[in-house]
Amino acid sequence: MAKGDRVFTDIASVVRELKPSYPVYCVRPEVLVRNARRFIKLFPGDVLYAVKCNPHTRVLEALYEGGIRHFDTASLPEIAQICEAYEDAHSYFMHPVKTRAAIEMAYRVYGIRHYVVDHIDELQKLYEETEKGRNVIAVVRMTTPKAEGTLFHLAGKFGASEAESVALLKKAKKLGMEVGIAFHVGSQCMDPGAYTSSLEMVGRVIAEAGIVPQCVDVGGGFPARYANMEPPPLEQYIDAVREGLRRIKLPPTVEVFCEPGRALVATGVSLLVQVQLRKGDQLYINDGIYGSLQELTTSDMRPPARLVRLEGGTANEFQTYGMMGPTCDSVDVVPGAFHLPVDVKEGDWIEIDQIGAYSNAIATRFNGFYPETFVTVMDDPVAAQLSDGPGAPSVVAA
């Protein structure tokens, strides 16, 4: 646990002690440790945590405690953060477009061996900045078709076609580099079958190129549970990966990787916000789409929320509310409806759960608002208590 960390037994104690008028990230290290251990136990290969998803040290420390030693890093600062914090960690440079300086530093200073490429010019860059590819594994990122129900399809920006991937593998080999193949089915992928069909593409590329890769990386995309979204259990995704691997009959020398972000951290952090004003069924809160809740503008998922009040009890009846962010920008409106007791009032707190992925990592400083307070909480998060009902039970902290 981080030095100077404030630790609370439950969310009620956070509210009682801090009475925060600013947003507070509540990190549940036990949940993160559990998530990491479960993933590592189930996945048939190395689990690379996608640092971009949540690079906060408290999150990284919990994942490390849970056994994560491999990290998907997509920038030089991420590589430095991991390599300098954890001596026994392995970092992989998984961004398909890198500056020459970043490649050179990653190679020379941090000894990084794996680099993703999806274009012939990037491969050339890699060759030129790394002593002609000595000890380098060029991991070819393939594009995959959009899977049913995937919330973020990442192939729009990155990824080589099957034919381009074959050409890249051959060229890298010719240049004297080791090779690998990677893909990303898209974030919050609701269809486990996407991993099997993407691995079949990998199989076709390997056969066509006539090259045995050093590694095959099935990427991230493993989903988290949200208030309105119940994905199949992780076991089904792992089965789908195993089935894909079985179909393409990789030699046992080939290392298998995955790069989960969301599935490891979403459930491990909640966000405590305060109601600054109520206007009918609109709640003006102290965080919004320029802060921790930006991801909600680009997706349909809704995090569960519950009311936290210091004293006096709360109504048993629920209604839906809209939430308005703190900035002066009129588009700073949190999409979707939140089910909370009918008597929400100014000064109440709301705990928004499942906020560990792509929240603090992408928050801006717009309008002077920047969520940056982190505490550790040892109770069960809201989602653990959510049923199909209209809202999570409220908490009275008196």
Ligand X SMILES: Cc1ncc(COP(=O)(O)O)c(C=O)c1O
Residues that bind ligand X (CB under 6 A): 50, 53, 72, 94, 154, 184, 187, 219-222, 259-263, 357
User: How big is the CA angle at 386 (ends 384 and 388), to the nearest 5 degrees?
Assistant: 145
Output phi, psi for 278, to 5 deg: -115, 130
Q: Among this protein's residues, is 328 annotated catalytic? A: yes
DSSP 8-state code for residue 146: P
Minimum CB separation from ligand X for residue 195, in Å?
Answer: 12
φ and ψ of 33, to 5 deg: -60, -45
Q: Is the dihedral of CA 360, 296, 271, 321 positive or negative?
A: positive
Shorter beta-carbon distance to ligand X: residue 40 or 357: 357
Catalytic one of 26, 53, 189, 328: 328
Distance CA 325, CA 334 (A): 7
Distance of CA 368 to the CA centre of its chain: 26
Which H/E stretch holds residue 38? helix 29-42
Assess contact for 263 and 218: CB atoms under 8 A. no
Distance, in Å, from the CA atom of 215 to the CA atom of 236, rounded to the nearest integer, reads 22
* Closest distance to ligand X from the beta carbon of 373 (Å): 24
Q: 314 and 396 in contact (C-beta within 8 Å)?
A: yes
**Minimum distance from residue 77 beta carbon to ligand X (Å):** 16
Using CA atoms, how far residue 91 sits from 43, 115, 154, 317, in Å, is: 18, 10, 21, 50
Nearest distance, CB of residue 218 and ligand X, angstroms: 10
DSSP 300-354: -----EEEEESSS---S-EEEEEEE-SSS-TT-EEEEEEEEETT--TT-EEEE-S
Nearer to ligand X, 14 or 216 (CB): 216
Task: Give 89 or 310: the residue with its C-beta nearer to ligand X.
Answer: 89
In whole angstroms, the minimum distance from the beta carbon of 32 to ligand X comes to 14
Q: Cα torsion for 149, 154, 156, 157, to the nearest 10°? A: 170
Q: Which is nearer to ligand X, 150 or 314 (by Cβ)?
A: 150
* Shortest Å distance, C-beta 22 to ligand X: 27
Tell me the residue nearest to ligand X as measured from the CB: 220
**Would you please indicate which residues are annotated as catalytic (active-site) residues?**
328
